[in-house]
Amino acid sequence: MVRVRYAPSPTGHIHVGNARTAIFNYLYARHEAGTFLMRLDDTDLERSTEENIDSMLEDIRWLGVDWDEGYLKGGDYGPYRETERKPLYDTYIRQLLDEDKAYRCFCTKGDVEEDRRKADEEHRAYRYTGRCAHLSQTDVAARLANGDPYVVRLRIPAEDVVVHDLIRGEVTFKAEEFDDFVIARQNGIPIYNYATVVDDALMHITHIIRAEEHLSNTPRQVFIYRALGFDVPQFAHVSLILAPDHSKLSKRHGAVSVGDYRLEGYLPEALVNYLVLLGWSPKDDREFFTVDELVKEFTLEGVGKSGAVFDKRKLTWMNHMYLGRKPAADIAAILRRDFAKLYEETFGDTPEGSVLTAIDLTKGNAQVLPDLFALARNVVCQEVTIQDEKSRELVTAPEGKQVLGYLVEHYGDVPFGLGDEAMSHWVEGLRDVVPLPPKKLYHPIRVALFGAKDGPEIVKLFLALEPSVILRRLERALAL
């Protein structure tokens, strides 16, 4: 039975890299009909505020990633917040100490700094000297009685570690690269590598799918698994997501968190689809996937090894495609929820039906959700705002005057209320009565009705807008 986990440090909105890791874990669990659990790595008390936890959860839910067990859901292996698991960590520290697989180190921070400096001077890598590795029982007892502070270090055996990585194959680390590292601080709080291992082992995690930055720490974790007598799980280290300059993707590059993209008006299905394709590829050439399809297709064999640059343009293209296919009612709901202020400003108390029509007319031209407001407002508002100078020139040009003049004069001929076909026919027929090339003929009409030369089809505009509104817009454009 496959059990995987996502263990974020809830420090706010989720970085897209972490989001992808969560998605991979989720997809893998679903594909294997296993269990996906979520655990909070909240030992960074400063940043793991309730507010930050909420932001994280909001993002993960927005993405559509749900978990079976863990934080807020419960399960047989809780608690699922590291801050609540201290007794467990203590138990195993005691076990390691009792079995002499770990030892108390009374070296002060000053001692360690001194050693480190010396190593630097002699141009060798710093390793803990082992000063406290073989203190006698009585020494230890005496110093304990004296109240001397200590950290706990793991004894590292002189054996190489081979990490079997499902993505990278066998990765070998030599024993001499490691020293007896600290697993519990002076204040008794365990360090990350140790806590994660205890948690993953106790929660029976079978596959650890995480970012590549953890690969170098994996041998340390393996030492801990072995010392504790736990089975070592399977590892799969996924490459990092890079910024266009190939550095680590961070805030200075603009939007980096799931929350950022939501705010900018990307759809979760587009973000998920895009993110999955960053590092994973299917067996065929398909690019668009529903979550169900991803669950069906996703395998770790399809995950690549190299780092991937986050290309916002492709994401935007993908979002554009998703937007064009999404039902107007669904889009409207998101607009009202996530862009309430803009929605109010643009649509006010416009009837729902008109809003939906406007969205339907314009969604194919929007890249991100907020684009819709600028596009749709000219369908819904009384007055049209001409978008650009070029468009304006089209209505003020002689041909523009000619076309609009004709329409105003023959306004009574417009077949309102007679259906699509009649309207379509009439629009086509304009070519016979106004002898202009198609572009010259239709562009001014679109500018007059919609405010821009590019946008919805003329036929659709005539069908969607109120006849009185159409007349007024034509007249106003003519008067420019």
Confirm whether 326 is a catalytic residue: no
Over the window 444 to 463, marking each residue x when it contacts RNA by CB under 7 A and - when it does not, the resulting string is --x------xxxxxxx----
Q: Name the phi and psi angles at 369, rounded to 5.
A: -55, -45
Which listed residue (76, 231, 246, 382) binds RNA by CB under 7 A?
Answer: 246
Which listed residue (216, 290, 385, 396) binds RNA by CB under 7 A?
Answer: 216
User: Applying CB under 7 A, which part among 62-70, 154-162, 289-297, 318-326 lies near RNA?
Assistant: 318-326
Which listed residue (56, 93, 151, 205) binds RNA by CB under 7 A?
Answer: 151
Element (H, E) at 196: helix 192-202
| Six token digits for residue 308 | 């991937």
| Beta carbons within 10 angstroms of residue 282's beta carbon | 17
Only one residue has tokens 């596959």, namely 207
Q: Can residue 126 be called a binding residue for RNA (CB under 7 A)?
A: yes
Q: Can residue 84 be called a binding residue for RNA (CB under 7 A)?
A: no
Helix (H, G, I), strand (E, B) or coil at 199: helix
Q: Can residue 173 be called a binding residue for RNA (CB under 7 A)?
A: yes
- Residues in region 17-76 near RNA by CB under 7 A: 41, 43-44
CB of 174 to RNA, least distance (A): 7
Q: Can residue 9 be called a binding residue for RNA (CB under 7 A)?
A: yes
Residue in 28, 4, 10 with CA at minimum distance from that of residue 298 = 28
Q: Which is nearer to RNA, 247 or 396 (CB)?
A: 247
**C-alpha span between 108 and 358 (Å, rounded):** 70
Q: Which is nearer to RNA, 169 or 353 (CB)?
A: 169
Which listed residue (186, 299, 354, 402) binds RNA by CB under 7 A?
Answer: 186
- Residues in region 419-438 near RNA by CB under 7 A: 424, 427-428, 438
Q: Can residue 281 be called a binding residue for RNA (CB under 7 A)?
A: yes
Q: Can residue 416 be called a binding residue for RNA (CB under 7 A)?
A: no
How far are the Cα atoms of 137, 311, 449 from residue 214, in angstroms, in the given order? 36, 24, 58
Whether the CA torsion 375, 377, 381, 386 is positive or negative: it is: negative
| Six token digits for residue 267 | 């759809």
- 3-state percent breakdown (helix, strand, coil) of the chain, nearest 5: 55, 10, 35
Exposed / middle / buried, residue 158 (Cβ in 10 Å: 0-12, 13-18, 19+): exposed
Which listed residue (166, 240, 334, 374) binds RNA by CB under 7 A?
Answer: 240
Which listed residue (1, 76, 98, 125) binds RNA by CB under 7 A?
Answer: 125
Contacts with RNA: how many residues (CB under 7 A)?
79
| Six token digits for residue 312 | 């916002």
Residue in 306, 209, 230, 249 with CA at minimum distance from that of residue 2 = 209
Residue in 381, 379, 434 with CA at minimum distance from that of residue 404 = 434
Which listed residue (61, 72, 439, 467) binds RNA by CB under 7 A?
Answer: 439
CB of 69 to RNA, least distance (A): 20
Which listed residue (17, 279, 444, 451) binds RNA by CB under 7 A?
Answer: 279
Q: Where are the alpha helices (DSSP H) in 14-167?
A: 16-31, 50-63, 86-98, 109-121, 137-145
CB of 207 to RNA, least distance (A): 18
Which listed residue (365, 378, 387, 391) binds RNA by CB under 7 A?
Answer: 365
Q: Can residue 287 be called a binding residue for RNA (CB under 7 A)?
A: yes
- The active-site residue, picked from 109, 251, 314, 439, is 251
Q: Which is nearer to RNA, 97 or 321 (CB)?
A: 321
**C-alpha span between 377 and 381 (Å, rounded):** 5
Q: Which is nearer to RNA, 91 or 216 (CB)?
A: 216
Q: Which residues, 6 or more positions from 94, have their beta carbon under 8 angstroms from its beta carbon? A: none
**C-alpha span between 70 and 78 (Å, rounded):** 7
Q: Can residue 313 be called a binding residue for RNA (CB under 7 A)?
A: yes
CB of 242 to RNA, least distance (A): 6
**Catalytic residue numbers?**
251
